[in-house]
Amino acid sequence: MTDEMNQELSEIKPLELGDIVVGTVTKVEEKHALIDAGYKMDGILPISELSSLHVEKVSDVLSDGDTLTLKVIKLTEEELVLSKRAISAEKAWSELKEAKEENKTLEVEIADVVKGGLVVDLGVRGFIPASLVEKHFVEDFSSYKGKTLEVKIVELEEENNKLILSHRAVLEEQEESKKQDVLQSLEAGQVLEGTVQRLTDFGAFVDIGGIDGLVHISQLAHHRVETPSEVVKEGDTVKVKVLSVDRDNERISLSIKETLPGPWDNVSEVLQKGQVVDGTVKRLVSFGAFVEVAPGVEGLVHISEIANKHIGTPSEVLEQGDKVKVKVLDVNPDEKRVSLSIRATLEEENRPSKIDPEYNKETDGNTGFSLGDMIGDQLKKYK
């Protein structure tokens, strides 16, 4: 009898705090499991030591007969307490430190959705704050449970059991890589398709495949543009020509105007000699007025063709922005010149100038003298 007891005692494994043992589950309770680890008594595996994540019931994780690698976390004459979580954590922290040092991307499955973010199990509890899940705001994260995401480690403190992860960092890294690829491939002269991202007072920013370029307000159209919203709006798909690429400063100059037919390309179809059209006074100069008669097409009304009376300066009768009727005197697409006349439209309508309603004498339009005055002077010679 004594020999048998001595043999049994010799077969009992000596244990110390911190030892790693392999044991078999002998009984599963709601809040703990009993483990045969070859010691003189069964060890206890508390539910809190099963996983880094919350477990409702031990039976959700373990079954009788399961073989586990465990760590001794408490040892007395009356009690042996074991931990599965400690084994997973030690290995996990080591691998996670290496991953952070090497800036590795990790693939994780979302274990739970909690207030403020998402929880994952990487051998230790990892947390993805709501602000680090996506680049955009997400109102409801319920659909993320069970979803697989790629993440980067942004904070790691083993002593405080703190592991903060970011999926957003992966998205931003991918976007930056794509942007650099596009930036290196761009050359002046290329014509691309892009999407208007935002408008400013000085132009429009267009996404051309992961990087934004600026279409200056002067490059939006052939005609003068007061505000970019006259021509484009956010979300529009547009064709743009690359004007210049500054890779060092990541600045790209684009043009929509350069992809559009020039205003003078079909001017002969729009304007014919003798035609009367509506126009807008754009500029006044000492020798006349420039009037826009088609988008981007301005013609000159010489000072002698402004009114049916003599005027010293165009500003006597015209202002910038005035709407006027003009007659096309000549069209020269090659030289991009159009000659216009306001006086001719007044004479054809056989009425005084709208510009000077008080003027009702017939004049020759150049000298400012009436025919009556000239004839009267001649008659005096014969008296």
Say which residue, 61 or 313, is predicted with more confidence.
Answer: 313
User: How many C-beta atoms lie closer than 10 Å to residue 94's C-beta?
Assistant: 12
Cα 349 from Cα 326, distance rounded (Å): 12
Residue 350: its pLDDT value, please? 59
At 369, the pLDDT band (50, 70, 90 cuts) reads very low
Q: What is the pLDDT of residues 169-178, one digit of tens each?
A: 999 999 999 8
Same fold, 16-83 and 188-259: yes
At 265, the pLDDT band (50, 70, 90 cuts) reads confident
Q: Which CATH number fits domain 268-348: 1.20.1050.140, 1.10.10.60, 2.40.50.140, 3.30.230.10?
A: 2.40.50.140
**Is the per-residue pLDDT at 6 higher than 70?**
no
Token readout for 88 is 């997973």
Which residues share a beta bridge with 338? 331
Q: What is the pLDDT of residues 60-102, one digit of tens each?
A: 888 999 999 898 989 988 899 999 888 888 888 989 999 999 9
Residue 347: its pLDDT value, please? 81
Residue 128: its pLDDT value, please? 97
Q: What is the pLDDT of residues 113-148, one digit of tens each?
A: 999 999 998 988 999 999 999 999 999 999 999 999
Cα 204 from Cα 207, distance rounded (Å): 10
**Residue range 225-232: average pLDDT?**
93
Cα 30 from Cα 52, distance rounded (Å): 18
**Is the per-residue pLDDT at 329 higher than 50?**
yes
Say which residue, 159 or 365, is predicted with more confidence.
Answer: 159
Of 35-49, 193-207, 302-316, 352-366, which range is least confident?
A: 352-366
Token readout for 188 is 């002046």
**Is the per-residue pLDDT at 376 higher than 50?**
no
| Percentages (nearest 5) of helix, strand, coil residues in the chain | 25, 35, 40
Of 1-15, 45-59, 145-159, 161-175, which range is least confident?
A: 1-15
**CATH number, span 100-171:** 2.40.50.140
Which residues share a beta bridge with 25? 35
The SS3 of residue 29 is coil
Mean pLDDT for the chain overall: 86
Residue 375: its pLDDT value, please? 35
Nearest 5°: CA angle at 165, between 163 and 170?
A: 155
Say which residue, 54 or 144, is predicted with more confidence.
Answer: 144
CB 146 within 8 A of CB 183: no
Residue 106, CA distances (Å) to 102, 121, 169, 175 in order: 11, 12, 12, 18
What is the DSSP pairing of strand 237-246 with strand 251-255? antiparallel
At 334, the pLDDT band (50, 70, 90 cuts) reads confident
Cα 16 from Cα 285, distance rounded (Å): 101
Cα 111 from Cα 129, distance rounded (Å): 14
Q: Give the start-to-end residue ranges of the domains of the chain.
A: 16-83, 100-171, 188-259, 268-348
User: How many C-beta atoms lie closer than 10 Å to residue 248's C-beta?
Assistant: 5
The answer for 21, left when phi > 0, alpha when psi is -120 to 50, beta otherwise, is: beta
The DSSP symbol for 14 reads P
Residue labelled with tokens 């684009």: 254
**Residue range 343-371: average pLDDT?**
54
At 12, the pLDDT band (50, 70, 90 cuts) reads low
Q: What is the pLDDT of residues 161-195, one digit of tens each?
A: 899 999 999 999 999 998 899 999 999 999 999 99
At 366, the pLDDT band (50, 70, 90 cuts) reads very low
**Is the per-residue pLDDT at 317 higher than 70?**
yes
Give me the CATH topology for the region 16-83: OB fold (Dihydrolipoamide Acetyltransferase, E2P) (2.40.50)
**Residue range 108-115: average pLDDT?**
93
What is the DSSP pairing of strand 337-341 with strand 297-302? parallel
The SS3 of residue 237 is strand
Residue labelled with tokens 């206890």: 44
- Residue 313 buriedness (CB in 10 A; 0-12 / 13-18 / 19+): middle
Which residues share a beta bridge with 6? none
- Residue 266 is which amino acid? N
The DSSP symbol for 168 reads H
Give me the CATH topology for the region 188-259: OB fold (Dihydrolipoamide Acetyltransferase, E2P) (2.40.50)
**Residue range 285-297: average pLDDT?**
91
Cα 82 from Cα 73, distance rounded (Å): 6
The separation between CA 362 and the C-alpha centre of its own chain, rounded to angstroms, equals: 65
**Residue range 364-381: average pLDDT?**
39
Cα 327 from Cα 340, distance rounded (Å): 6
Residue 50: its pLDDT value, please? 87
